[in-house]
């Protein structure tokens, strides 16, 4: 079994130390997580306002020394480049989290840092202008000069362990678990460095000490300064410029770099002669003796002969004061959509301006509530003194909190950047109709409809209404013995399907229980005049549900999505009836019911047995229903509604369950999202 035996799904969440963390439904930085040699890193949203990274270590790297190493970091939060030093470790005391995700033991939560790593430029051979490279080199030298003052070392400084903004400043370090510091617990095993930035025997055996960054910093600075030259980019190793076994030798790459360093452009504060001197000092610090295991060589001595970060800062010149300090400003922290008639208005939008009034590049992420659409992008990089217009569209009413007819959302939208965070509140009013006018109209319609209603049976026609004399008994509170629905079954019918919410019915927090109870992890509804619960929240095109169900003898119930007020011309419904073990459609347009039992398939349902139900909403009213036996996936029924029309477009749907007879049981409710219906069913 995979170590990650309980995989994380978009929309999942957990609570830790009073804070809520949610795995986002979308992809904010290209991928939902990254994988390194020791851990997998996920992006999460904390308290709906800030982006955080969750670093989950592989099993062989989980140990309690990680907790000891993380403790002193709080003393260095003031240092540049150490944003990720704000950390929380998940320990064995956090059993509620570990019970759900056992792989989170010793995992670390820290602020998310956005930007590119130098490794991206190495692998892609992407050209860097000299002055951009100079900015980046200066920033690295500045950070590690401060490290030296505080007796710190990263111990695995390499091209993949720092990220920076598009203007090649604002550097942030990552992977700091193996840092050296006074009083820090040495990691076990020792940090081995990275090929191309640490000497060969360190890559093989490891090293932990105050001077561990001197060689790697020297290599990185020279690599960055020379990356403007095509010959240098073409001469690289697969993942670095140099190989670890060439340090100290007169290699071809060494000679090429020496030649290019002598031709660097002139720049204020840059001492090219000293740059050449420092590079040679690092390159020839007896690495050849060390790699040949000459007796007098010692790794600490080798590192101590390399230049200090402060030496490099003197040779490169400090960056001008104020450069690289972005400051966020937004045009408004309150959005009022006014009074809205959701039955008529489908594109309700406002705009805000995001400004960077600082002097460095503003890197940001926009974190909206699920019922808010933001364009043109959820992420941005804004140069100094520039601004960006953001369109904010209200999809539907996403709140359960109303005060005097007004809906307020204190955290409707969050703009989180490296230059500050702004929280934008959103409010609106729903259009109210003249209540007495509609009551009068309703009574008049009812008077006209009563003669017709007496001739039409309520609900779908039944095969028989004759009571059955022989009754069978069941054990309704027993949990299903089958495992939760595999998403692979759903993906037979829906492209890019994934679970956004999984509800085990351990609480009723996701439901409005006007009827029905939750007992032993199962939703139980006794049939009575189509009563039943509503699911909280809204559904849209590209959404669906999967749920397990079973029913007693003479079970008569319905499961459906709907929009608008029942018995009005604007009402829409997409759903199914199940009556006496037989499914039929439950599709309404206004006050007209479309009833059919033309399901295809070989499944014959019977009372007392658990089944799975998939219902999915596509564009313009396309609707799919699949019912199957989870113990035998070949036994299934399918209904696909494909009549397209604008009368179904851009609707906000509610999800409801109703029961008329018998007792109905539901378990393992899943909300799903998908991109399209599959062309061919498998």
pLDDT of residue 462: 40
pLDDT of residue 680: 62
Angle at which helices 309-316 and 214-226 cross, to 10°: 20
Structure tokens at 554: 């003479």
Question: Which carries the bigger pLDDT value, residue 471 or residue 660?
Answer: 660
Do the beta carbons of residue 522 and residue 505 sit within 8 Å?
A: yes
Query: pLDDT-derived band of residue 563, with 50, 70 and 90 as boundaries?
Result: confident
Within the chain, what is the greatest distance between any pair of CA atoms?
107
> Going by C-beta distance under 8 Å and a sequence separation of 6 or more, which residues neighbour residue 432?
405
Q: Which of 534, 537, 536, 540 is nearest to 651 (CA)?
A: 540
Question: How many whole angstroms separate alpha carbon 398 and alpha carbon 448?
Answer: 36
The whole-model pTM stands at 0.56
Question: How many whole angstroms separate alpha carbon 610 and alpha carbon 543?
Answer: 23
pLDDT of residue 30: 34
Give the dihedral sign, CA 590/593/598/602.
positive
Is the pLDDT at 31 greater than 50? The verdict is: no
Q: In a 3-state reduction of DSSP, which class is residue 27?
A: coil
Q: Show the CA angle centred on residue 294, arms to residues 312 and 219, nearest 5°.
A: 20
Span 251-255, mean pLDDT? 94
pLDDT of residue 675: 73
pLDDT of residue 391: 87
Looking at mean pLDDT, say which of 122-131, 212-221, 300-309 comes out highest.
212-221
Distance of CA 24 to the CA centre of its chain: 3
pLDDT of residue 436: 47
Query: pLDDT-derived band of residue 587, with 50, 70 and 90 as boundaries?
Result: confident
Question: How many whole angstroms separate alpha carbon 622 and alpha carbon 394?
Answer: 23
pLDDT of residue 34: 65
Query: pLDDT-derived band of residue 452, with 50, 70 and 90 as boundaries?
Result: low
> Which of 41-55, 100-114, 155-169, 305-319 shows the lowest per-residue confidence on average (mean pLDDT)?
41-55
Is the pLDDT at 204 greater than 90? The verdict is: no
pLDDT of residue 183: 82
Q: Which of 641, 440, 661 is nearest to 529 (CA)?
A: 661
Span 12-29, mean pLDDT? 76
Question: How many whole angstroms separate alpha carbon 254 and alpha carbon 439?
Answer: 88
Distance of CA 231 to the CA centre of its chain: 40
Is the pLDDT at 297 greater than 70? The verdict is: no
Query: pLDDT-derived band of residue 454, with 50, 70 and 90 as boundaries?
Result: low
Query: pLDDT-derived band of residue 596, with 50, 70 and 90 as boundaries?
Result: low
Is the pLDDT at 90 greater than 80? The verdict is: yes
Share of the chain above pLDDT 90, in %: 31
Question: What are the C-alpha distances in Å from 428 to residues 196, 369, 540, 676?
Answer: 58, 15, 20, 32
pLDDT of residue 479: 44
Q: In a 3-state reduction of DSSP, which class is residue 385?
A: coil
Question: What are the C-alpha distances in Å from 79 to residues 84, 86, 145, 171?
Answer: 11, 11, 11, 12
Query: pLDDT-derived band of residue 473, with 50, 70 and 90 as boundaries?
Result: very low
Query: pLDDT-derived band of residue 29, with 50, 70 and 90 as boundaries?
Result: very low
> Going by C-beta distance under 8 Å and a sequence separation of 6 or more, which residues neighbour residue 429?
338, 339, 340, 405, 406, 407
> Which of 86-95, 260-269, 343-352, 659-668 shows the lowest per-residue confidence on average (mean pLDDT)?
343-352
DSSP state of 428: E
- The contacts found for 350-354 with CB under 8 angstroms, 24 or more apart, are 350/391, 350/392, 351/389, 351/390, 351/391, 351/392, 352/389, 352/390, 352/392, 352/424, 353/387, 353/388, 353/389, 353/390, 354/328, 354/329, 354/330, 354/380, 354/382, 354/387, 354/388, 354/389, 354/390, 354/415
Beta bridge pairs of residue 418: 420
b/e burial code for range 298-337 (CB count within 10 A of at least 16 → b): ebeebbebbbbbebbbbbbeebeeebbebbbbbeeeebeb
> Which of 161-165, 439-443, 576-580 shows the lowest per-residue confidence on average (mean pLDDT)?
439-443
Do the beta carbons of residue 557 and residue 527 sit within 8 Å?
A: yes
Is the pLDDT at 396 greater than 70? The verdict is: no
Query: pLDDT-derived band of residue 161, with 50, 70 and 90 as boundaries?
Result: very high
Helices (H) and strands (E) in the chain, counts: 14, 41
Do the beta carbons of residue 449 and residue 386 sit within 8 Å?
A: no
Do the beta carbons of residue 432 and residue 375 sit within 8 Å?
A: no
Query: pLDDT-derived band of residue 464, with 50, 70 and 90 as boundaries?
Result: very low
Q: Which tens digits make up the pLDDT trace of 329-379?
A: 999 888 888 887 766 655 578 889 999 998 777 888 888 776 777 877 677
Strands 372-375 and 387-394, by their bridges, are antiparallel
Do the beta carbons of residue 156 and residue 177 sit within 8 Å?
A: no
Query: pLDDT-derived band of residue 637, with 50, 70 and 90 as boundaries?
Result: very high
Mean pLDDT, rounded, of the chain? 80
Do the beta carbons of residue 671 and residue 501 sit within 8 Å?
A: yes
pLDDT of residue 606: 92
Question: How many whole angstroms separate alpha carbon 376 and alpha carbon 533?
Answer: 37
pLDDT of residue 342: 62
**Residue 465 CB neighbours (<10 A):** 9
Query: pLDDT-derived band of residue 465, with 50, 70 and 90 as boundaries?
Result: very low
Q: Which of 86, 66, 67 is nearest to 77 (CA)?
A: 86
**Residue 444 CB neighbours (<10 A):** 10
Q: Which tens digits make up the pLDDT trace of 513-553?
A: 888 999 888 999 999 888 899 998 778 888 899 999 999 98
């Amino acid at each position: 079994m995979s170590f990650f035996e309980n995989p994380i799904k978009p929309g999942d969440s957990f609570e830790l130390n009073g804070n809520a963390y949610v795995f986002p439904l979308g992809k904010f930085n290209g991928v939902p997580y990254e994988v390194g040699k020791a851990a997998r890193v996920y992006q999460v949203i904390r308290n709906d306002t800030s982006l955080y990274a969750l670093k989950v270590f592989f099993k062989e790297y989980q140990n309690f020394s990680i907790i000891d190493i993380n403790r002193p970091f709080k003393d260095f939060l003031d240092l540049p480049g150490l944003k990720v030093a704000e950390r929380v470790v998940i320990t064995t005391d956090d059993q509620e989290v570990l019970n759900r995700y056992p792989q989170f033991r010793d995992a670390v939560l820290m602020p998310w840092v956005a930007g590119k790593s130098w490794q991206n430029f190495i692998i892609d051979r992407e050209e860097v202008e000299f002055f951009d490279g100079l900015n980046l080199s200066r920033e690295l030298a500045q950070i590690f000069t401060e490290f030296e003052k505080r007796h710190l070392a990263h111990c695995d400084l390499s091209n993949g362990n720092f990220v920076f903004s598009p203007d090649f400043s604002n550097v942030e370090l990552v992977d700091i678990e193996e840092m050296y510091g006074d009083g820090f617990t040495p990691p076990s095993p020792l940090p081995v460095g990275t090929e191309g930035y640490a000497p060969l025997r360190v890559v093989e055996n490891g090293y932990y000490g105050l001077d561990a960054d001197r060689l790697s910093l020297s290599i990185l600075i020279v690599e960055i300064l020379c990356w403007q030259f095509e010959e240098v980019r073409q001469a690289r190793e697969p993942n670095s410029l140099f190989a670890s076994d060439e340090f100290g030798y007169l290699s071809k790459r060494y000679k090429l770099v020496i030649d290019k360093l002598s031709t660097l452009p002139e720049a204020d504060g840059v001492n090219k002669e000293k740059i050449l001197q420092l590079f040679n000092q690092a390159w020839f610090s007896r690495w050849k003796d060390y790699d040949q295991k000459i007796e007098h060589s010692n790794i600490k001595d080798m590192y101590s002969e390399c230049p200090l970060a402060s030496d490099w800062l003197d040779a490169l010149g400090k960056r001008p004061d104020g450069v690289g300090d972005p400051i966020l400003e937004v045009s408004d922290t309150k959005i009022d959509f006014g009074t809205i008639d959701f039955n008529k208005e489908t594109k309700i939008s406002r705009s805000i301006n995001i400004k960077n009034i600082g002097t460095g590049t503003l890197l940001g992420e926009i974190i909206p509530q699920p019922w808010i659409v933001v364009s043109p992008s959820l992420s941005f990089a804004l140069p100094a003194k520039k601004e960006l217009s953001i369109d904010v569209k209200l999809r539907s009413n996403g709140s359960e909190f109303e005060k005097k007819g007004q809906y307020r959302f204190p955290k409707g939208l969050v703009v989180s950047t490296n230059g500050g965070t702004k929280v934008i509140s959103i409010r609106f009013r729903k259009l109210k109709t003249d209540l007495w006018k509609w009551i009068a109209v309703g009574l008049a319609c009812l008077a006209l409809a009563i003669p017709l209603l007496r001739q039409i049976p309520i609900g779908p026609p039944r095969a028989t209404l004759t009571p059955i004399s022989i009754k069978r008994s069941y054990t309704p509170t027993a949990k299903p013995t089958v495992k939760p629905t595999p998403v692979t079954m759903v993906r037979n019918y829906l492209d890019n399907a994934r679970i956004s919410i999984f509800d085990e019915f351990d609480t009723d927090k996701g439901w409005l229980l006007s009827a029905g109870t939750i007992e032993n992890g199962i939703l139980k509804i006794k049939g009575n005049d189509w009563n039943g619960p509503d699911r909280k929240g809204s559904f849209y095109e590209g959404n669906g549900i999967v749920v397990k169900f079973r029913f007693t003898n003479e079970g008569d119930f319905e499961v459906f999505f709907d929009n608008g007020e029942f018995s009005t011309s604007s009402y829409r419904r997409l759903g199914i009836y199940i009556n006496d073990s037989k499914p039929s459609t439950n599709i309404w347009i206004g006050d007209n019911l479309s009833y059919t039992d033309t399901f295809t398939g070989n499944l014959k349902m019977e009372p007392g047995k658990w089944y799975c139900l998939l219902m999915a909403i596509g564009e313009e009213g396309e609707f799919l229903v699949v019912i199957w036996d989870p113990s035998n996936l070949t036994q299934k029924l399918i209904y696909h509604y494909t009549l397209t029309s604008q009368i179904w477009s851009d609707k906000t749907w509610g999800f409801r369950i109703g029961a008329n007879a018998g007792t109905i049981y539901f378990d393992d409710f899943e909300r799903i999202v998908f991109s399209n219906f599959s062309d061919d069913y498998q």
